[in-house]
Amino acid sequence: MTTGRLLACHECDLLQREAPLPPNGVLRCCRCRAELYRSHPDSLDRALSFTFTSIVLFAIANAYPIVGLAVNGDLVQTTLIGAVRVLYLDGIWPLAGLVFVTTILMPAVQTVAMAYLLVPLRLRRVPYRADLAFRLLRLAEPWGMTEVLILGLLVALVKLAHIASVVPGVALWSFGALMLLLAAASAAFDPRALWARINHGEHSVGPEADVGTSTASCTAAGCGLMVCHSCGLMSKPAAHAHDASCPRCDAHLHFRKPDSITRTWAFLIAAMVLYIPANVLPVMNTSSLFGSEKDTIMSGVVYLWTSGSWPLAIVVFIASVAVPMLKIIALLYLTVSTQLHSGWQPEQRTRIYRVVELVGRWSMLDIYVITMLVALVQFNALATIQAGPAAIAFGSVVVLTMFAAMSFDPRLIWDLAEKNHG
């Protein structure tokens, strides 16, 4: 008889038994194949070392210029915060705020929160208000987009090379290293090991023992348990309660995300409305001695293709045109099929949802390209670039589709299958 601790899948809610894993092994849900947990040898110590290095590189990357542009003896350089400032002074404050949050604020919150949690544990102390720091860390993770920024910088460099001499700055290399270290810190960080140390060796404090040993085709909600999507703890709420707070990290708990379908529809409709001006209106306005030119997203792709940078043209087309459209179509399909209580291919639909969550951030690529071009091409009478109205619309589409994916509850896909099974 298996006596391992019970786990609930975050995507289909199925209760399963914990199993021992080899180093770097992965335990997946036996129903939807979602990752339940991964074995991380020396996870907290490795995460702490990566985090400290990330903090140093983050400071260097934001203190020094990313890239410079030299024309006729004039050198224009910009830092990341300088590029945000140019957007703000041009009146494009929504775009400036979006770039600031995704490239500066959220990565800073992520690294500081991780260091705040790990340093006291390394000193054999419990962090003060670990629950709040952990929730901040979970909040920042999906919105920190350093890896997308790096790809955007590469595309911007190719475009700038056709205008003037490009001078790479210290921050460019620092951001590249920072991208790798943040990914390594996130991969090494193990919330299970964190809470095991905080709770003095206990992985969980939930009421799993009350469920019994037979868990075949049994969901957490069916057993009256709520699963915390931040720390993974299962807890039993008060009688007839539909929401509660996690007793470990104080995150909001629910059997199913409140008004999931309604909220997903609201974000999707808004994204579909804005998708049209995002692709039709100019995303950049270029003024030079030879006149002015307005570029849409597609004209930027065509420019990269005709200038010989066809690999980057393909990347930009996929990230800025295909991905937003496919995300909207995929979320429409998931929302409609779930609302109609379709029981068709629940595992395939869950995989579609997983892909939508994974690729959502990469649509920010064009926003970062525009940010760099606007900040650097400021040669007054010779040439200037300003962000067009489509840039704000496109940034809104990216954010709205990410909110739509976050609002959708994939466990609803499996509820009908569970009822039919019963």
Per run of 10 residues, the mean pLDDT along the chain (length 422 residues) is 69 86 85 85 90 95 89 80 91 93 95 95 90 93 93 86 82 93 91 85 45 59 85 78 79 88 96 93 74 78 81 85 91 92 86 89 89 77 76 93 94 77 53
The residues facing 67 across adjacent strands are 78, 168
* pLDDT value of residue 379: 59
* pLDDT value of residue 332: 95
The set of residues, in sequence order, having a beta carbon less than 8 Å from that of 10 and lying 6+ positions away, is 34, 227, 229, 232
* pLDDT value of residue 80: 92
Over residues 330-357, the pLDDT tens digits come to 999 999 999 988 878 888 999 999 999 8
The set of residues, in sequence order, having a beta carbon less than 8 Å from that of 259 and lying 6+ positions away, is none
Torsion of CA 117, 123, 128, 132, to 10 degrees: 10
What is the Cα–Cα distance from 15 to 191, expressed in whole angstroms?
19
Strands 67-71 and 74-78 come out as: antiparallel
Name the CATH topology of 255-422: Butyryl-CoA Dehydrogenase, subunit A; domain 3 (1.20.140)
What are the Cα distances from residue 336, in Å, to 236, 264, 345?
Answer: 31, 10, 14
Strands 234-235 and 243-245 come out as: unpaired
* pLDDT value of residue 197: 87
Residue 223 identity: C
Sign of the Cα torsion 277, 262, 399, 402 reads: negative
What are the residue boundaries of the structural domains of the chain, listed by start?
A: 1-39+206-242, 43-204+248-254, 255-422
- Count of beta carbons in the 10 Å neighbourhood of residue 53: 18
Q: Print burial letters for 1-34: b (CB count within 10 Å at least 16), e (below 16).
A: eeeeebbbbbbbbbbbebeeeeeeeebebebbeb
* pLDDT value of residue 3: 47
Name the region of 254 (left: φ>0; alpha: ψ -120 to 50; beta: rest): beta
Backbone angles phi, psi at 275, to 5 degrees: -65, -30
* pLDDT value of residue 205: 40
* pLDDT value of residue 206: 46
The DSSP 8-state label assigned to residue 1 in this structure reads -
